[in-house]
Amino acid sequence: MTSKILITGISGFIGRNVLRHLIQNYDSITAIIRPGTKHQRIEEFINKVEFAEIDLTDIPTLKEYLDENSFEIIIHIGAVRGGRKLSNYDYFDANVNATEQLVINARDNDSKFIYCSSVGVFGAIPLELPANNSTKRQEDNYYHFTKIRAEAIIQKYVLYGLKAAIIRPSITYGTNDYGFPFTLTKLIDEKLLFLPNQDVIIHLANINVITQSFLRLIELDYQPGVCYNVADSHPVELHKLAEFINNELERKPYSSKRDIDIKYFKKGEKIAKFFKSELWIARFQLISRHWYYDVKNSYIDLSLKETETIPNFKIVTDWYKDLRSK
């Protein structure tokens, strides 16, 4: 197809997977990448897409580039994620101001604008379960604040003609990503994961489900301003997932001796809050509290393939076993 597409975030997990599918169907793709991006992170796309080396924190350069170029579709996935040791100014420029520049370009050129937000707009732990589009937002860390602010800017421009759609992925699992799912698997393998002595329900997203969502929105004539929370078809109980992972790795259930009183997780979270460690606050919360989302409309409107975390998490354990054997 000949649609002219601009995409950001291709060196990241979601962006890389979306672009792999795009290059199979579209032949005019430009990817914005950070200057100095390591060759191995983009080498599979060399000679398949055009690169524009612009840091999303460099708003003047981004604006100059966008003033000189137009696209039919803009897919904005790039962002500075939580846990990075950057100033709030850099977070705001990359996640909010850069988004607004891309939005202005899309609105002025009557382009489709598909934005990758995060279920983090509801906070690490939503105040309502399952979290839905009406659930109260929580600015519980600066990354989540920037995503909330970027969504607000997008919805403002929708009132002035922007053809925008927002995807909010949950924590995503797949191969070649070293985030929460990989860490969970590694801790289980090393018998270092302690679990609370009560049920905890979590809601992960298979990378293929996330990728499908972007591809469907490219094709659809959606209602401007629509938002989709995207994750697997149903949440999963954390103990069952841990048991599945250990069965895949060791052919036996995960030891119940690793279950400890929930109060220790609460104490750990309090200590992390005292030291203002967003990373450790999230780590304690993600394995000791419920977090799941209403995804029914996503599956219906976007015709997503039904996907359950168990057994599909096997893609992570198989990849992990390959890494372990090297």
Q: Which pLDDT tens digit goes with each residue over 191-213?
A: 999 999 999 999 999 999 999 99
pLDDT of residue 276 exceeding 90, the answer is: no
What is the CATH classification number for the domain harbouring 25? 3.40.50.720
Do residues 228 and 297 make contact, with C-beta atoms less than 8 angstroms apart? yes
pLDDT, position 326 = 80
pLDDT, position 86 = 81
Average pLDDT over residues 126-147: 96
| Residue with the two structure tokens 């170029």 | 69
Evaluate whether residue 250 is within a structural domain. no
Evaluate whether residue 31 is within a structural domain. yes
Q: Specify the number of domains making up the chain.
A: 1
Evaluate whether residue 150 is within a structural domain. yes
Average pLDDT over residues 122-137: 97
Calculate ∠ Cα 51-24-207, nearest 5°.
Answer: 85
Band of residue 254 on the pLDDT scale cut at 50, 70, 90: confident
Report residue 6 as tokens.
Answer: 């601009």
CA distance linking residue 319 with residue 200, whole number of Å:
25
CA 179 to chain centre: 11
CA 271 to chain centre: 27
Evaluate whether residue 94 is within a structural domain. yes
End-to-end CA gap in the chain: 40
Averaged pLDDT score across all residues of the chain: 95
Evaluate whether residue 124 is within a structural domain. yes
CA 324 to chain centre: 26
Evaluate whether residue 226 is within a structural domain. yes
The phi and psi torsions of 158 (rounded to 5 degrees) equal: -60, -35
33-78 residue pLDDT tens: 999 999 999 999 999 999 999 999 999 999 999 999 999 999 999 9
Band of residue 279 on the pLDDT scale cut at 50, 70, 90: confident
Amino acid code (one letter) for 288:
S
Do residues 231 and 170 make contact, with C-beta atoms less than 8 angstroms apart? yes
Evaluate whether residue 325 is within a structural domain. no
Domain of 61 in residue numbering reads as 4-177+203-235
CA distance linking residue 141 with residue 46, whole number of Å:
36
- Provide the pairing of β-strand 172-173 with 205-206: parallel
Sheet strand arrangement including 112-116:
50-53, 28-33, 4-8, 73-76, 112-116, 163-169, 226-230
Evaluate whether residue 109 is within a structural domain. yes
CA distance linking residue 276 with residue 282, whole number of Å:
11
Amino acid code (one letter) for 232:
D
pTM of the predicted model, to two decimals?
0.95
